[in-house]
Chains A and B, each alone.
Chain A
Amino acid sequence: MSTGIADLPLWADALVASLLVAAAGFAFVGSLGLAKLSDFFSRLHGPTKAATLGVGGMLLASMIHFGVRDGAVSLHEVLIAVFVFLTAPVSGHLLAKAALHLAGRSLEGDAAASPAKDDYAN
């Protein structure tokens, strides 16, 4: 396979590879939880944690890769990591509020699109 992957020292290569595998595992498990869990509030907790850990591992791998290749600290990734880590809880909170709002409305008879099964609706 002819990729442009730079020749890193063995320790950096091993570190990058294991971080990539960990990130892929977390992201896959998060998306699997999103697809497989049974109600909205369980589905919410999968991706908000696992997918950000996946992005975090990927960005850490990228930092090590470019840092070792250039011999200087690579700070582009920190920008993305800080942004994703700040915004993931905010959007999770807003989605939970929206789902609770819809669940409350379905209690008053408008049961067309209740996201939560009855455990959460009261």
Chain B
Amino acid sequence: MTAAVLPFVTLAFVAGLFLSAYRLLRGPSAPDRILALDTLYVNALALLVLLGIVLDTKLYFEAALVIALLGFVGTVALARFVLRGDIIEPR
């Protein structure tokens, strides 16, 4: 049954990737692009977990965890740069 829904699930996530890439390229403001990157990495993480289910291996959880960590750090750094003009402020 999982194999039957697999094409639909993959297609939905890939469509999500393309929609956020569209917003990343078009987005009128900087926060729009940062939000698009955020959605992009969340969707990529979910696709990686799906790949783990399909290939029946736990190998990909560490990769998904690294994507989650680096994506969050990247989002925070970019948002801080927009907000303050600097990521780590000099004293």
Give me the interface of A with B, judged by CB distance under 8 Å. 1, 3-6, 8, 10, 13-14, 16-17, 20-21, 23-25, 27-28, 30-32, 34-35, 40, 43-44, 47, 51-52, 54-55, 58-59, 61-62, 65-66, 69, 74, 76-77, 79-80, 83-84, 87-88, 90-91, 94-95, 97-99, 101-102, 113-115
Chain A binding surface SS class: helix
Number of interface residues of B (CB under 8 A): 52
Are the CB atoms of B29 and A113 closer together than 8 Å? yes
Are the CB atoms of B52 and A34 closer together than 8 Å? no
> Which chain B residue lies CB-closest to A35?
B19
- Measured between alpha carbons, how far is A69 from B58 in the docked complex, in Å? 12
Are the CB atoms of B31 and A99 closer together than 8 Å? yes
Are the CB atoms of B3 and A113 closer together than 8 Å? no
Decide yes or no: A24 and B9 within 8 Å by CB, A3-B54, A55-B46, A95-B38 being known contacts: yes
Decide yes or no: A17 and B68 within 8 Å by CB, A43-B35, A101-B83 being known contacts: no
Are the CB atoms of B9 and A84 closer together than 8 Å? no
**Is B28 engaged at the interface, CB distance under 8 Å to the other chain?**
yes
Give 8 nearest A-B pairs by CB, closest first.
A31-B16, A115-B29, A24-B12, A94-B79, A35-B19, A31-B19, A98-B82, A47-B39
Of residues 1 to 38 in B, which have CB atoms within 8 Å of A's CB atoms?
A: 1-6, 8-9, 12-13, 15-17, 19-20, 22-23, 28-32, 34-36, 38
Decide yes or no: A27 and B13 within 8 Å by CB, A17-B2, A20-B2, A95-B75 being known contacts: yes
Chain B residues near A59 (CB-CB < 8 A)? 49
Are the CB atoms of B23 and A25 closer together than 8 Å? no
Decide yes or no: A28 and B35 within 8 Å by CB, A20-B9, A43-B23, A52-B42 being known contacts: no
Are the CB atoms of B36 and A34 closer together than 8 Å? yes
**Is B55 engaged at the interface, CB distance under 8 Å to the other chain?**
yes
